[in-house]
Structure 1
Amino acid sequence: MNKRVLISGLMLLALSGLALTSCKKTQPVQAQPSSPSVQTRGYLTDYGEKGMQALSARLHNSRRKLTHIVVIGDSHTAADFLSGQLRRQFQHRYGNGGIGFISPLAVPGNRYSNVKFSRTKGWQAVNSRRQSNPRFTLGGNIATPLSWDSETRVTALEGESSINAQALYRSLGGATLQLQGRAIPLADSQGRWELSEAARVPLSFSVSVSGENETELAGLWLTAAQPKGVIVSALGINGAQISMLDKWQDDWPGTLSMLNPDLVILAYGTNEAFNTDLSLSEYRQTLVRQIKKIRKAEPGAAIMLIGPGSSIMHKGAASCEKRQPALLKPIIEVQKQVARSEQTLFWDWFAWMGGDCSIERLAQQGMARPDLIHLTAEGYQASAAALWRDLEYKLEQ
């Protein structure tokens, strides 16, 4: 009797096992996420940037829609040579959408290829290059009027007969913005950065602020009268590293989102390479953090990293290895790794120049400056033309 019960129990266990096995087999097998395909054209590598399709579609509809490209970087961007040439290429192909986002006043050491400032009086200006201010936002500039007759004149060097102008401002209690004599009310923003109403102004116009309340400007947003074509905004600070963005504490990604960028270019790395105290692991973390901030603020925008070009740190050293910053190529490698992990674009400026110590050859050709860090206008223009060719091919696919 006991033996019969034991056999029956074993048969039940076997049947249960078969049933469980059968259930497991009927469960659908979950597909593993495939790695994005990596595509390279010239010196541009696409590590799976999902925003490229939308960018391409918007550009091809540029007769009716505005495309905004933002370049954030160091002194190479602050001079607006590379970004300026890139702007000319885009606007020649897709139309001129306007000046873009600029500082509220002239910044010493900076230039714009498409705008100039003059007749500035009665303002206090601070910049995040050497100063700290918890109210810094995108661009790292704050201009505060000191008197009722504070004024600056902005002149667009290209464009149609008139443009639309808005100010990025913050105000406690409200104030009045004067754009070429036209009064624009600045509502109480409760300390937050906001864009003012737009006003149609001539290519050369005055800017002033009146009111007894605390009011500051962080930038001007200048677009063509008709919202179409391309804008390339250049936000560069001399000596900046990617960590500079951590000084823009007042929600700079939120401000970026107000400007609706379709492509954000981060052009850093030269000053990191000269920073002998830099931790590569901390640098990687910072770069990833800033990219994630942009993704969160503007999930549809494409992101590109432009690596640092060739540079010389120790001119008197005998070998190229000693003359070149020791961290230069490790910085580039970290950027490539981050571009892959965050699925962005990466343009290898160092490789385009020719690799190790190639800036010395470019200097002999008149395309680099004697400091062996910066290029001449011709060098930046040639760089931008190469970047444009690689990017144009990708956009036309």
Structure 2
Amino acid sequence: MKNKFVWFSGVLTLLITELTLSSCHAPVDTPPAPVSMLSDTSDVMADYGESRVKRLAEKLRNSRRETTHILVMGDSHTAADFLSGQLRTMLQARYGNGGPGFVSPVKVPGNRYSHVNYTQASGWRLETSRRAQDAAFTLGGMIATPTTPDNVSRITVTDGETALRAQALYRSAGNATLRVGGNAVSLVETHGGWALSPAVPVAPSFSVSLKGSGTQLAGFWLTASPSRGVIVSALGINGAQISMPDKWPADWPGTLKRLSPDLVVLAYGTNEAFNASLVPDIYRQDLLLQIRKIRLAVPEAAILLIGPGSSIQHKDATGCRQRQSPVLKRVIEIQKQAAREEHTLFWDWFAFMGGDCAIEQWAVQGKARPDLVHLQAAGYREVADGLWKGLRPVLEP
């Protein structure tokens, strides 16, 4: 398109027909907006006409009296909550603490939150969509089912927020009672779907127990009281690819709508780059489909794609080209194409790190782990700082 220039320039198991994609495509409110150039970030952050950032920026300006929700969906980088956690810290320091956001119902092995701890858990069975198949999975891919009448878990929020409200994302085959801290919350039958329980006040550390057969939890929605500031929810699953939401058949877009994010961040790509059987056309179609599902569910939310960072697939190979995944840059280019087509934001993590095999130098500097895929905490902090520097001119023009 002649009037579009770069601001910060830039599985499905079967092939999906263009007709199917078209049926999932939410119309764009306005044509792609003209963009301006910042030379120091021109190869890292790009706005391909994401008109919804104006609403996002306005909400942030009013953060003292309303909440802005940023929801990050991703792979192991998000599951560790280092990158998203540092972004949360910076945004909350600037705009106020809106609370922990959407978190898993019990502790998930291999996952962490920078601001929430789980202790004293007993009498629960946890399923995650990382490996399991369950028609009940919804957004986040977690299901906690009580296995004993005396089940209990304790959730402790460590971000300093003292006045909180809690709601459970649950489904129930009949009436049940959820005890959250000192509150007894009545849960009604949901007829197979997922619903949010009534909000109740909780202390920063509170216990959870559930009474009632056929009742399960998929997460907790924890917010500050009164509503204000910024929430950054981290929904990460180790090993996840953009196709992961296909394993959440129980109306994950409907759950997303209930959480009402103002910005949805899709931080996938690392595992696609390590997928030897990746079919680029199928990957592109699946990426477009997930973006369009998000647009339909939360049409007022802005969308940001974060490309994969630098990584090494074959450590013993001789040259950089041989050590790096042969499809890594192809994955990044497909993401950029999707961002252009769907008019989203795109942040090039790979370019920010320095391009081909840059993670090797990051490891020498103590900022990357020996696996040459993940970063040390200091490395994630640097990446989060770079992401904020790219976002700030968009959100504070």
- Give the alignment's TM-score, normalised by structure 1: 0.90
TM superposition shift of 1:157:
0.5
TM superposition shift of 1:161:
2.5
Q: Tell me, in whole angstroms, the C-alpha distance in 2 between the residues paired with 1:162 and 1:396.
A: 29
Q: Tell me, in whole angstroms, the C-alpha distance in 2 between the residues paired with 1:332 and 1:279.
A: 14
Question: What is aligned with 1:342?
Answer: 342
Q: Secondary structure at the match of 1:242?
A: coil
Question: What is aligned with 1:22?
Answer: none
Alignment of 1:344-363 (within 5 A): 344-363=344-363
Which amino acid letter does the alignment assign opposite residue 55 of structure 1?
Answer: L
State the aligned residue count. Answer: 364
Question: What is aligned with 2:34?
Answer: 37
Residues 97 and 161 in structure 2, CA contact (< 8 A), matched pair in contact too: no
TM superposition shift of 1:190:
1.1
Question: What is aligned with 1:127?
Answer: 128
Q: Tell me, in whole angstroms, the C-alpha distance in 1 between the residues paired with 2:280 and 2:115.
A: 36
TM superposition shift of 1:55:
0.1
Q: Tell me, in whole angstroms, the C-alpha distance in 2 between the residues paired with 1:181 and 1:62.
A: 30
Q: Tell me, in whole angstroms, the C-alpha distance in 1 between the residues paired with 2:340 and 2:119.
A: 44
Residues 40 and 46 in structure 1, CA contact (< 8 A), matched pair in contact too: no
Classify 1:40/1:100 alpha carbon distance in 2 versus 1 (closer, same or farther; 3 Å): farther
Listed one character per residue, the Cα deviations across residues 309-355 of structure 1 (whole Å, up to 9, x for unaligned) are: 00000111111000000010000000000000000000000000000
Which amino acid letter does the alignment assign opposite residue 329 of structure 1?
Answer: K
Which amino acid letter does the alignment assign opposite residue 360 of structure 1?
Answer: E
Q: Tell me, in whole angstroms, the C-alpha distance in 2 between the residues paired with 1:84 and 1:39.
A: 29
Q: Tell me, in whole angstroms, the C-alpha distance in 1 between the residues paired with 2:182 and 2:47.
A: 48
Q: Tell me, in whole angstroms, the C-alpha distance in 1 between the residues paired with 2:396 and 2:31.
A: 25
Residues 104 and 220 in structure 2, CA contact (< 8 A), matched pair in contact too: yes
Listed one character per residue, the Cα deviations across residues 270-323 of structure 1 (whole Å, up to 9, x for unaligned) are: 000000101000000000000000000000000000000000001111110000
Q: Secondary structure at the match of 2:191?
A: coil
Q: Tell me, in whole angstroms, the C-alpha distance in 2 between the residues paired with 1:196 and 1:55.
A: 27
Which amino acid letter does the alignment assign opposite residue 337 of structure 1?
Answer: Q
TM superposition shift of 1:49:
0.4
Q: Tell me, in whole angstroms, the C-alpha distance in 1 between the residues paired with 2:332 and 2:298.
A: 25
Question: What is aligned with 2:58?
Answer: 57
Classify 1:34/1:295 alpha carbon distance in 2 versus 1 (closer, same or farther; 3 Å): closer
Question: What is aligned with 2:232?
Answer: 232
Q: Tell me, in whole angstroms, the C-alpha distance in 2 between the residues paired with 1:388 and 1:306.
A: 12
Listed one character per residue, the Cα deviations across residues 84-137 of structure 1 (whole Å, up to 9, x for unaligned) are: 000011101100000000000110100000000000000011000000001100
Classify 1:217/1:353 alpha carbon distance in 2 versus 1 (closer, same or farther; 3 Å): same
Residues 56 and 262 in structure 2, CA contact (< 8 A), matched pair in contact too: yes
Residues 305 and 345 in structure 1, CA contact (< 8 A), matched pair in contact too: yes
Q: Tell me, in whole angstroms, the C-alpha distance in 1 between the residues paired with 2:107 and 2:283.
A: 30
Q: Tell me, in whole angstroms, the C-alpha distance in 1 between the residues paired with 2:127 and 2:349.
A: 31
TM superposition shift of 1:179:
0.6
1:150 lines up with 2:151 in the alignment = yes
Q: Tell me, in whole angstroms, the C-alpha distance in 1 between the residues paired with 2:37 and 2:104.
A: 35
Residues 339 and 345 in structure 1, CA contact (< 8 A), matched pair in contact too: yes
Which amino acid letter does the alignment assign opposite residue 290 of structure 1?
Answer: Q
Alignment of 1:79-98 (within 5 A): 79-98=80-99
Q: Secondary structure at the match of 2:62?
A: coil
Alignment of 1:125-204 (within 5 A): 125-204=126-205
Residues 159 and 224 in structure 1, CA contact (< 8 A), matched pair in contact too: no
TM superposition shift of 1:394:
1.3
TM superposition shift of 1:39:
4.6
Question: What is aligned with 1:328?
Answer: 328
Listed one character per residue, the Cα deviations across residues 213-242 of structure 1 (whole Å, up to 9, x for unaligned) are: 300000000001110000000000001001
Q: Tell me, in whole angstroms, the C-alpha distance in 2 between the residues paired with 1:39 and 1:370.
A: 39
Question: What is aligned with 2:70?
Answer: 69
Q: Secondary structure at the match of 1:222?
A: strand
Question: What is aligned with 2:317?
Answer: 317
TM superposition shift of 1:34:
5.8
TM superposition shift of 1:61:
0.4
Q: Which runs of 5+ in 2 are unaligned?
A: 1-29
Question: What is aligned with 1:370?
Answer: 370
TM superposition shift of 1:162:
2.9
TM superposition shift of 1:148:
1.2
Q: Tell me, in whole angstroms, the C-alpha distance in 1 between the residues paired with 2:285 and 2:35.
A: 22
Question: What is aligned with 2:102?
Answer: 101
Listed one character per residue, the Cα deviations across residues 60-84 of structure 1 (whole Å, up to 9, x for unaligned) are: 0001100000000000000000000
Residues 169 and 194 in structure 1, CA contact (< 8 A), matched pair in contact too: yes
Residues 39 and 45 in structure 1, CA contact (< 8 A), matched pair in contact too: no
Which amino acid letter does the alignment assign opposite residue 37 of structure 1?
Answer: P
TM superposition shift of 1:174:
1.6
Q: Tell me, in whole angstroms, the C-alpha distance in 2 between the residues paired with 1:273 and 1:37.
A: 32
TM superposition shift of 1:192:
0.9
Q: Tell me, in whole angstroms, the C-alpha distance in 2 between the residues paired with 1:278 and 1:130.
A: 19
Q: Secondary structure at the match of 1:368?
A: coil
Question: What is aligned with 1:15?
Answer: none
Residues 174 and 189 in structure 1, CA contact (< 8 A), matched pair in contact too: no
Residues 312 and 357 in structure 2, CA contact (< 8 A), matched pair in contact too: yes
Question: Could you say which structure has the higher helix fraction?
Answer: 1
TM superposition shift of 1:37:
2.9
Which amino acid letter does the alignment assign opposite residue 378 of structure 2?
Answer: E
Residues 98 and 159 in structure 1, CA contact (< 8 A), matched pair in contact too: no
Q: Which runs of 5+ in 1 are unaligned?
A: 1-32
Question: What is aligned with 1:21?
Answer: none
Question: What is aligned with 2:385?
Answer: 385
Residues 33 and 51 in structure 2, CA contact (< 8 A), matched pair in contact too: no
Question: What is aligned with 1:304?
Answer: 304
TM superposition shift of 1:181:
3.1
Identity across matched positions, percent? 59
Q: Tell me, in whole angstroms, the C-alpha distance in 2 between the residues paired with 1:270 and 1:38.
A: 29
Q: Tell me, in whole angstroms, the C-alpha distance in 1 between the residues paired with 2:333 and 2:269.
A: 11
Residues 150 and 209 in structure 1, CA contact (< 8 A), matched pair in contact too: yes
